[in-house]
Amino acid sequence: MDAILAQLLNGLDKGGAYALIALGLTLVFGTLGVVNFAHGALFMLGAFCAVAFRQLITMETVTIDPSQLSPWGAPLEIKTPLAQTWFGEFGAVMIEYSVPLSIVLAIPVMLIIGIAMERGIIKHFYKRSHAEQILVTFGLAIVAQEVIKAIFGPNPISQPMPTSLRGAADVGLWLGMGPNVLTYPWWRLLYFVFSAAIIAAVFAFLRFTTFGMVVRAGMADRETVGLLGINIGRRFTIMFGLAAVVAGLAGVMYTPLVPPNYHLGMDFLVLSFVVVVVGGMGSLPGAVAAGFLLGILQSFASMAQVKAMLPGIDQIIIYLTAVIILLVRPRGLIGRRGMMES
């Protein structure tokens, strides 16, 4: 029982990332009708916002201490982060909390990247075939990842989490199961809560604001909304920016879990498409539900007992689910009828 609960928690935290990425992808597809193969790259760019922020605030001054010698006999170099020299204690705290703080940097950066992408390239592709959209965004994804590789190098760069959030929470105790029965890392719990909050915010935004209402109307029937004299194009651009922000934030918070490298986006890309397809192309609740569902499925499939029954299932469960859904119920779990059905 504890084992199953632990695996469920793991699935929820994995699913959080999938759901966030799929949510952004669906926003773009639902509003703009564009299949964005560069969405994984946006996730990766978000992660590198965190890396860049940390590198910025940990830029170091090197002082040489002649009294100490390095192992090869040269004077020892002592490196002090500039932020600490300038802000003292506060600088140290900034470095400590660099990952959550980098959200402040990531939001505007991702918004600009998203809008630039839409205005620069993607808007020319609204009328072209899905195949061409895939190709151009695939190209963009390669460019983004290579730019990151050129700047930050090919190796993963680890982002330490704040000390206070290291280690595991005794979840079992909260559920009245006694101490030490069920523990789970704090940051992973936080990631789940964070993704749930973002998802709620996006849904609230679409439901309760006029802007959201217009966008939803536009998703349902773009032409009529246009006839009403509303500039739906500009709103769609902003939606693309918003999707980029959602992907980016998912990336920022992911960095302490797995050190990001330039390839992170491609690793998540296939997965996120599978999530979207399972949820139903263009359905926001579908994307979220499928994200969590696939996270949980993947987590359970990785258990030794399950692997013993179905060897290798942990490796293919996600794709297998996608194939079955696509063949049996092409509009996905909650997809709208007629959406992309052939």
Give 143 or 228: the residue with its C-beta nearer to other proteins: 143
> Whole-number minimum distance, CB 155 to other proteins, in Å?
5
> Whole-number minimum distance, CB 34 to other proteins, in Å?
11
Helices (H) and strands (E) in the chain, counts: 15, 4
Give 11 or 218: the residue with its C-beta nearer to other proteins: 11
> Whole-number minimum distance, CB 13 to other proteins, in Å?
7
User: What tokens does 221 get?
Assistant: 């029937």
Q: How far apart are CA 16 and CA 163, in angstroms?
A: 23
> Whole-number minimum distance, CB 256 to other proteins, in Å?
8
Q: How far apart are CA 109 and CA 303, in angstroms?
A: 39
Give 257 or 334: the residue with its C-beta nearer to other proteins: 257
Residue 290 near residue 337 (C-beta atoms within 8 A)? no
Counting other chains too, the contacts that 139-147 makes at CB distance below 8 Å and 24 or more residues apart are 140/37, 140/38, 140/41, 141/37, 141/38, 141/40, 141/41, 141/265, 141/266, 141/269, 144/38, 144/41, 144/42, 144/44, 144/45, 144/265, 145/41, 145/44, 145/262, 145/263, 145/265, 145/266, 146/262
> Whole-number minimum distance, CB 342 to other proteins, in Å?
4
Give 39 or 188: the residue with its C-beta nearer to other proteins: 188
User: What tokens does 162 get?
Assistant: 């704040």
Give 238 or 270: the residue with its C-beta nearer to other proteins: 270
Q: How far apart are CA 325 and CA 340, in angstroms?
A: 14
> Whole-number minimum distance, CB 273 to other proteins, in Å?
6
Give 115 or 214: the residue with its C-beta nearer to other proteins: 115
